[in-house]
Amino acid sequence: MFSLQGKKAVVTGGGSGIGKAIALILAKQGAEVHVIELNEAQAQSTLDEINDNGNNGFSYACDVSDQQAVIKTFDQIGSLDILVNNAGIAHVGKADTTQEADFDRVMNVNVKGVYNCLFAAIPKLRLAGGGAIINMASIASLVGLPDRFVYSAAKGAVKAMTMSVAKDYINENIRCNSISPARVHTPFVDGFLAKNYPDQIPEMFEKLSKTQPIGRMGKPEEIGALALFLCSDEASFITGCDYPIDGGFTTLNN
């Protein structure tokens, strides 16, 4: 089950965290994985791990907010079966504390970046006779989170784009779903704590962990496992759906 033998997959933001976990599990299940990442060193690190495990991967340094660069990269990759739109950035701020430059930066990566990859990838999926798209949304698209104004707006747009793509391409054998994680323990979380709470890291880590009713943060590998399922032929009857993976946050946190 869940074999991706003979499939070609693209994972954006695959150099660390959730994106890296997804890239590794897709490769483990037999896919040829193409990692698109702004940070070339991080992309190479993921690629090395893929290849060291005897799997097949390639990496590309690319800014997903630059449409021409994205098109050029996808033209190098050619026909593909799976697209995982994972690249994204975070921002802390309310509507009246988010500066215009920060608003534009988040929207350019988290919304325009997803659009750019859809624009470039859908013709390549057609070449393969269809395929699967996963967009990384967030529980921020489902519930109100404090101090996450533009991030929530961007992830809400990602969720809406997912539904639109699922509707528009259902007759071309292209499925599109989104995943909405709660807090996941990634290098971003460690960096956030080190920067903002250098003298309280253990206490703040525990506090952030307990915002999920299940009592801990998610693991990148758990998001990867859900992505693998949605990419696989076993999920061929699933399209136009959003999957919260949140330790009970959206339904039990009241």
What CATH number corresponds to the domain at position 240? 3.40.50.720
Starting from the edge strand earliest in sequence, which strands make up the sheet with 57-61, in order? 57-61, 32-37, 8-12, 82-85, 131-136, 174-181, 242-245
Token couple for 119 = 């624009």
List per-block mean pLDDT (blocks of 10 residues) for the chain, which spans 254 residues.
97 97 97 96 95 93 98 98 97 96 98 98 97 97 93 98 98 98 92 89 94 95 98 98 96 78
Task: Tell me the C-alpha distance between 226 and 27, whole Å.
Answer: 15
Q: Within a domain: residue 3?
A: no
Measured CA to CA in angstroms, residue 246 lies from 43, 50, 84, 86, 142 at distances of: 27, 27, 19, 17, 11
pLDDT of residue 188: 85
Q: 10 Å Cβ neighbour count for 118?
A: 21
Q: How many CA atoms lie within 13 A of 183 on its CB side?
A: 20
Q: Choosing from 60, 151, 169, 243, which is the catalytic residue?
A: 151
**What does DSSP assign to residue 184?**
B
Task: Tell me the C-alpha distance between 83 and 155, whole Å.
Answer: 17
pLDDT of residue 161: 98
Look up the domain containing 24 and give its range: 8-183+219-252
Q: Within a domain: residue 153?
A: yes
Q: Within a domain: residue 209?
A: no
Token couple for 163 = 């539904």
Using the structure block, give the residue that is written with the tokens 């701020």: 93
* Alpha helices in the chain, H assignment, sequence order: 17-28, 40-52, 67-77, 100-107, 113-127, 149-168, 187-196, 201-209, 220-231, 249-252
Tell me the one-letter amino acid at 85.
N
pLDDT of residue 155: 98
Q: Within a domain: residue 199?
A: no
pLDDT of residue 192: 83
Among the listed residues 97, 82, 88, the one whose alpha carbon sits nearest the alpha carbon of residue 138: 88
Q: Within a domain: residue 200?
A: no
Task: Tell me the C-alpha distance between 169 and 178, whole Å.
Answer: 15
pLDDT of residue 208: 92
Q: Within a domain: residue 156?
A: yes
pLDDT of residue 254: 59
Q: 10 Å Cβ neighbour count for 121?
A: 23
| Domain count along the chain | 1
pLDDT of residue 196: 84
Q: Within a domain: residue 73?
A: yes
pLDDT of residue 53: 87
pLDDT of residue 191: 87
For residues 44 and 56, the answer to whether their CB atoms sit within 8 Å is no
Q: Within a domain: residue 195?
A: no
Cα Rg of the chain, angstroms: 17
User: Does the annotation count 197 as an active-site position?
Assistant: no
